[in-house]
Amino acid sequence: MRTLIRNGMVVTAADEMYADVLIDGEKIVALAATGSETAASWAPGAGKVLDATGLYVIPGGVDGHTHMQMPFGGTFAADTFETGTRAAAWGGTTTIVDFAIQSVGASLREGLDAWHAKAAGVCAIDYGFHMIVSDVNEPVLKEMDVLVGEGVSSFKLFMAYPGVFYSDDGRILRAMQRAAGNGGLIMMHAENGIAIDVLVEQALAAGKTDPRYHGEVRRALLESEATYRAIQLARVAEAPLYVVHVSAAEAVTELARAKDLGLNVFGETCPQYLFLSTDDLARPDFEGAKYVCSTPLRPAEHQAALWRALRTDDLSVVSTDHCPFCFSGQKDLGRGDFSKIPNGLPGVENRMDLLHQAVVDGHISRRRWIELACATPARMFGLYPRKGTLAPGADADVVLYDPNAAYTISAETHHMNVDYSAYEGRRVAGRPRTVLSRGTVVIEDGSYVGEAGHGHFVARSTCQYLR
């Protein structure tokens, strides 16, 4: 069936123009200036016509960092692939790249198979996987080559969480050397977890048990030190590096230095670091637990450095690190000991709107919004131009976005499977009106009309963002 989207302002990372978009089945087949003879000729053959007058027509969001059903601290992230991808669709995101996890002592294959089993047949939108490597050894290094061939072309390593996901520098170097040879992208959780664990122990011994101490022990210097070290290891290995969830201004400085040297080092931040701060972590009555994530929220002064870096491309991607735990029953696990609070925040539904608000507030341009949230993550993770843009041949993942549909974010109205919103009460300027995933309408004028299982696994090529 042919679908025609008319009269909207098409916004991609490269252009803004009034254009009509013609879709045939799952793909975009053509764009033409609104009112042109070409565009007019499409109307009679279209089975479905969507009027985008007054709306932006943008590529579906690509969220390159989510954790559906992630096991953490004795519990599981509250969104399943079914609920989480549905919430993503509500928020104008049409592709997620989630993290499959290798357990210590197990193979990558076992971890990846388990994540395929969780996601298969239940997703509302398309999805891919990165692989968390918790146990670097010879067989695992060989498996990395196989996974790249299967479209799982990025590997997350942790300098934090000793005894769980942590890798020491030798293991990190080996994995980076392997990635340099097979085209894989190493993603780094850059925090000095060994030093942090000492500070955690000391804080608890001093009776500092409240959520706000989570932010105090995870010092900005320990983020920037790890970022620096990861960059140097990547230089030695001659491998590209993508640093996830950057929150500290000092870490941004390290990324900027690497960029000035022309290195293939890239940084990601998340809305929580742009819009929330240690003031939220310090909320009374254990409410701060809602804001416990790692890297942690920082004092609000860090935000200016993050916004600036998003403009200069010292930070290239905004993902959510969506990893929701309910306040009641999950965050609760850390009452009396902040180190037991499951780490992570919900946000997969909020990212596109919060970043659009950043456009309204003058932090970034409209095209940069699309670049940070759609095009660059698609390039970074080998999905472009199938995802992340509106062009002939691309998947018809399209959002009709109403820039004037102001609303207040609230857990009362969101669709994520979690009992609070990190952005409760925040007013944002726009929201998706209609969302298409591979040509199928999944959100239509405020209703979910998609289906569990419509979303497919997407095999990715290697990073397309290298300098």
Does residue 6 interact with ligand URP by CB under 6 A?
Answer: no
Peptide bond preceding 295 in cis form (omega within 30 of 0): yes
Closest separation in Å from C-beta 366 to ligand URP: 28
C-beta of 390 vs 422, nearer to ligand URP: 422
Which among 116, 128, 80, 87 is positioned nearest to 450, based on CA atoms? 87
Closest separation in Å from C-beta 322 to ligand URP: 9
Selected binder of ligand URP within 200, 241, 323, 359 (CB under 6 A)? 323
C-beta of 55 vs 323, nearer to ligand URP: 323
Closest separation in Å from C-beta 70 to ligand URP: 7
Does residue 173 interact with ligand URP by CB under 6 A?
Answer: no
Which residue's entry shows tokens 């565009």? 39
Peptide bond preceding 227 in cis form (omega within 30 of 0): no
Phi/psi at 291 (nearest 5 deg)?
-110, 15
Selected binder of ligand URP within 85, 182, 294, 437 (CB under 6 A)? 294
Nearest-angstrom CA–CA distance, 20 and 10: 8
Tokens of 332: 């609760």
Which among 270, 317, 268, 265 is positioned nearest to 293, based on CA atoms? 270
C-beta of 343 vs 357, nearer to ligand URP: 343
Closest separation in Å from C-beta 81 to ligand URP: 16
| Long-range pairs, 17-25, Cβ under 8 A, ≥24 | 19/57, 21/57, 21/390, 21/398, 22/46, 23/396, 23/398, 23/436, 23/439, 24/439, 25/1, 25/396, 25/439
Per partner kind, with CB cut-offs from 5 to 8 A, the member of Zn ion, ligand URP, none near residue 343 is ligand URP
Does residue 343 interact with ligand URP by CB under 6 A?
Answer: yes
Q: Which of residues 165-194 bind Zn ion (CB under 5 A)?
A: 189
C-beta of 211 vs 324, nearer to Zn ion: 324
Nearest-angstrom CA–CA distance, 323 and 346: 6
Closest separation in Å from C-beta 4 to ligand URP: 40
Pairing of strands 185-189, 241-243: parallel
CB 26 within 8 A of CB 7: no
Alpha carbon distance, N-terminus to C-terminus of the chain: 40
C-beta of 153 vs 294, nearer to ligand URP: 294
Per partner kind, with CB cut-offs from 5 to 8 A, the member of ligand URP, Zn ion, none near residue 153 is none
Q: Which of residues 390-419 bind Zn ion (CB under 5 A)?
A: none
Per partner kind, with CB cut-offs from 5 to 8 A, the member of Zn ion, ligand URP, none near residue 438 is none
Selected binder of ligand URP within 64, 344, 377, 439 (CB under 6 A)? 344
Which among 188, 215, 148 is positioned nearest to 65, based on CA atoms? 188
Q: Report which DSSP code applies to 315.
A: S
Tokens of 345: 């925040």
Closest separation in Å from C-beta 207 to ligand URP: 24
Per partner kind, with CB cut-offs from 5 to 8 A, the member of Zn ion, ligand URP, none near residue 293 is ligand URP
Q: Which of residues 93-152 bind Zn ion (CB under 5 A)?
A: none
Closest separation in Å from C-beta 156 to Zn ion: 7
Cβ count within 10 A of residue 266: 27
Selected binder of ligand URP within 245, 290, 368, 431 (CB under 6 A)? 245
C-beta of 178 vs 189, nearer to Zn ion: 189
Q: Report which DSSP code applies to 333.
A: G
Closest separation in Å from C-beta 247 to ligand URP: 10
Pairing of strands 16-24, 2-11: antiparallel
CA dihedral sign of residues 92, 90, 314, 279: positive
Per partner kind, with CB cut-offs from 5 to 8 A, the member of Zn ion, ligand URP, none near residue 344 is ligand URP
Does residue 297 interact with ligand URP by CB under 6 A?
Answer: no
Peptide bond preceding 385 in cis form (omega within 30 of 0): yes
Beta bridge partners of 209: none
Closest separation in Å from C-beta 8 to Zn ion: 34
Selected binder of ligand URP within 7, 9, 67, 347 (CB under 6 A)? 67
Beta bridge partners of 427: 408
Tokens of 206: 């001093």
Closest separation in Å from C-beta 272 to ligand URP: 9
Does residue 321 interact with Zn ion by CB under 5 A?
Answer: yes
Q: Report which DSSP code applies to 373.
A: I
Selected binder of ligand URP within 321, 353, 371, 397 (CB under 6 A)? 321
Interface ranges with ligand URP (CB under 6 A): 67, 189, 245, 293-294, 321, 323, 343-344
Interface ranges with Zn ion (CB under 5 A): 189, 321
